[in-house]
Every structure is written in structure tokens, then in C-alpha cells.
Amino acid sequence: MTLRLATAGESHGPALVAILTGLPAGLVLDRDVIDADLKRRQEGYGRSPRQQIEQDRVEVLAGLRHGRTLGTPLALVVRNADHRNWTWGMNPWPPEGEPAGKGTKAVTLPRPGHADLAGVLKYGLGDVRDALERASARHTAVHVAAGAVAKALLASIDVAVEGSVVDEAGLRARIDEARKARDTVGGVIEVRARGVPPGLGSYASKDDRLDARLAAAVMGIQAVKGVEIGDGFALAGRFGSEAHDEIRTDRRRDTNHAGGIEAGTTNGEEVVVRAAMKPLPTLMKPLASVDLETGEQAQALVERSDVAAVEALAVVAEGAVAWELARAAHEKFGGDAVGDFVAARDAYLERIGWR
Ligand SMILES: Cc1cc2nc3c(=O)[nH]c(=O)nc-3n(C[C@H](O)[C@H](O)[C@H](O)COP(=O)(O)O)c2cc1C
């Protein structure tokens, strides 16, 4: 069975929801481990005060009993504590009583770089909020929870996934500078997966290629504008003799320019994915825009916002890579019970004599 993930939830709506299907039964989940990842996503230099309002915790509504998956759809919920300030503005139903709290006035000033203009045009919306609430990266919280479940499945076959910021010290200095100038910044993150067996993904068809799947998973995160596997873009400027990883008699490599993937298939080395994040589009010193109500030139919406979310992206991308690797591993090894999944991995490593 293929692992599938569907999510729903607006930034200031009641909650974020994820449904995970295809997970084997018997996978042990630890609520504290999932919550620790949710906390990591909320932290990081340059985040907005929203993070002090939210204390993200996972709730499980289905698919788990006494901490073990049942092999049935797993339903996860992360509530938005801030919704209490938006009960009128983000009420799923026509609200009763006088408008109160946040989100009562229509937003008509689209921000360059955000979903605002494209969203209202595409869906025929009169209020930019109807577009930005889902486009917002708030719902990455529930993706991180799903990523934590994927990491638990990967841990059963000794695979560990970790995201980090590239050049953290430089990033912090740029955040300080941007904050003073009421501006925003982006940055680069890296996700590494250790212990990945050779043979996940395939070159058979382009949809099977794990490099393409990982790129799509990471590019699918808000504000990611570039993804590379291994040495990626730098490979274009090298000679072949400097670009490829020579094979030893034990079939391992001393270098890893390929980032653990050749021909869309893992080769047993560490999987390395890097992503470039653009500067966040909500600026406290707004860019030029149009007022959609009057048609006049105006300044874009100013709304509480992060100066940077690069450290958060490292956690979100870690979850996205973990989910895609778990999917690829489960495609290869299968199993309705975790024990079957692990036994198939063991038999495969035995066959190829991989240590
Ligand atoms: C973890 C995370 C937090 C973000 N926080 C903000 C934010 O506070 N303000 C903002 O304008 N954009 C933020 N973004 C980026 C926007 O969601 C994103 O730029 C927007 O949805 C448009 O999509 P695009 O950049 O992929 O084109 C964040 C992105 C991530 C991954």
C-alpha cells in the first residue's frame, strides 16, 4: 500500500488536520517526540510573536491505540490557539453577532511574492484573506507532525533524517540587519538522511525517480525556490572526473557528490538535499501594490510576520524528506505490519550483502 498524506487547515482557522494512510500496523509513536518536532518548527531566530501564542501539540483522532498504529488511517490534529482572536473573522459558518476580533475587514492590498493576487484572480475571491489563510505556511505544523511519524517508520529500518541551516551564523547577522531595516531575508537549508539502503526509487520511469520526488516534496514547501541533490548546481561547472564518486570494492564511496542518489535510485550513501528559501514576502516597509477595491496604486498589506523562517524551514523540509523516503522505503519493502517491513529490509540487505 502506498503511503498517502492529505492535509487541511487555515492559518487562523480552528485547527490543522492531516490524514495519513497506508502506514503499517504496530508502529510505536511517542507523543513527546512528535511534539518536540512541532516545538522545533516554532523556534528559530527571526520568528514573529505568533509563535508565543501557539504551543503546538499533536492530537490523534484515529488510527492509534495505546501508542501503536492500527494499520488504519491515522488522523492528526494541531489546534490553532490564535483562533480565539479570530472566532468571528475565521468562523467556518456565517458568524452571529457584531464583527469582533481580527479578520473582520476584507483585505484588498495584495503582497508581491505572496499568494494574494494570484489567489483572488484564480478563485474569484473578494477578500485576499480567503487566499492567504491557506497559502500561509502555518499548516506546515501538521506536515511536521506527519514527518515525525515518517521518521518513526524510518527509524525501524535504522534510517535517520536531520535538517539544518547552512551558514547559521551568517543568517543571524542578516536577520539582525533585516529587522533594523524592517525587511526580510531567506537562506539555505540542508537535509541529510543516514542509513538509507541502496535501491530506493528507480530509473524505470520519471515518476519513480527519487531525486525528482524529493525535489517536488521540498519545492512544495512555501517560499522554497531552488532544490539541489548532492552538489547540484556546482556539478555543472566541473569536469566529470571531479563530479562522480568512485566505487570501492565494498561498493561504498569516499566522496558523495551525488548526494546518495544515482539515476533516481539511492546508492547507499547519505542522501543530501539542499533548498534555497526566498526572503519572506510580508514586509513591514511594504512594496508597491494595487488596492483591488479602488484600483489605485497603494502599498501592500502589512500583517504580523516573521523576519525569517529559515530554521523552521529546516524542520519542515526534514519532515518532507522523511515522508518521501518513508514512502519509497515502504514501496520497496511493503508490509502490513512493521515487523514484515523490517524483515523484508533485512532479507534484501542479506541478498545484496550490504553492511
Ligand atoms: C516555516 C515558514 C514560515 C513562513 N512564515 C512567513 C511569514 O511569517 N510571512 C510571510 O510573508 N511569509 C512566510 N512564509 C512564506 C510564505 O508562506 C510564502 O512565501 C507564500 O505562501 C507564497 O508562496 P511561495 O513563496 O512559495 O511562492 C513562510 C514559509 C515557511 C516555510
Q: Give per-residue pLDDT as tens, 119-141.
A: 999 999 999 999 999 999 999 99
**Ligand 1, atom nearest to 223 Cα:** 25
**Ligand 1, atom nearest to 132 Cα:** 21
**Cα of 136 from ligand 1 centre, angstroms:** 6
Q: Where are the alpha helices (DSSP H) in the chain?
A: 31-42, 50-53, 116-123, 129-135, 140-155, 168-180, 210-219, 232-235, 240-243, 310-333, 338-352
Question: How many other C-beta atoms can be found within 10 angstroms of the C-beta atom of residue 326?
Answer: 28
Closest CA to 26 of 70, 84, 90: 70
Contact between 278 and 113 (Cβ < 8 Å): yes
**Cα of 309 from ligand 1 centre, angstroms:** 8
**Cα of 64 from ligand 1 centre, angstroms:** 32
Q: Which residues contact ligand 1 via a Cβ below 6 A?
A: 48, 114-115, 135-137, 140, 221-223, 278, 280-282, 305-306, 309, 312-313, 316
The stretch 300-306 carries a mean pLDDT of: 90
What are the phi and psi torsion angles at 261 (to 5°)?
A: -135, 125
What does the alpha-carbon distance between residue 292 and residue 207 come to, in Å, rounded to a whole number? 40
Instruction: Enter the pTM of the model.
Output: 0.98
What are the phi and psi torsion angles at 24 (to 5°)?
A: -70, 155
**Cα of 197 from ligand 1 centre, angstroms:** 34
| pLDDT > 90 fraction of the chain, expressed in percent and rounded | 95
* Per-residue confidence (pLDDT) for residue 52, from 0 to 100: 85
What does the alpha-carbon distance between residue 324 and residue 328 come to, in Å, rounded to a whole number? 6
Residue 112: pLDDT above 90? yes
The alpha carbon of residue 331 and the mean position of all alpha carbons in its chain are separated, in whole angstroms, by 21
Contact between 328 and 211 (Cβ < 8 Å): no
**Ligand 1, atom nearest to 115 Cα:** 22
Alpha-carbon distance values, 2 to 5, 106, 235, 269 (Å): 10, 41, 33, 24
**Ligand 1, atom nearest to 111 Cα:** 11
* Per-residue confidence (pLDDT) for residue 50, from 0 to 100: 77
* Per-residue confidence (pLDDT) for residue 197, from 0 to 100: 98
> For atom 12 of ligand 1, which residue has the closest CA?
280
Contact between 189 and 310 (Cβ < 8 Å): yes
Residue type at position 127: D
Enumerate residues 6+ apart whose C-beta is below 8 A from 213: 201, 207, 324, 327, 328
**Cα of 274 from ligand 1 centre, angstroms:** 18
Please provide the average confidence, as pLDDT, over all residues in the chain. 97
**Cα of 22 from ligand 1 centre, angstroms:** 30
Q: Per residue in 11-65, pLDDT tens?
A: 999 999 999 999 999 999 999 999 999 999 999 998 888 788 889 999 999 999 9
In 3-state terms, what secondary structure has residue 160?
strand
Residue type at position 24: P
> For atom 4 of ligand 1, which residue has the closest CA?
137
Q: Per residue in 185-194, pLDDT tens?
A: 999 999 999 9
> For atom 28 of ligand 1, which residue has the closest CA?
137
> For atom 20 of ligand 1, which residue has the closest CA?
114
Q: Per residue in 144-175, pLDDT tens?
A: 999 999 999 999 999 999 999 999 999 999 99
**Cα of 115 from ligand 1 centre, angstroms:** 9
Contact between 73 and 63 (Cβ < 8 Å): yes
Tell me which of 132, 280, 311 to substitute to probe ligand 1's pocket, judged by most ligand atoms within 8 Å of the beta carbon: 280
What are the phi and psi torsion angles at 264 (to 5°)?
A: 70, 10
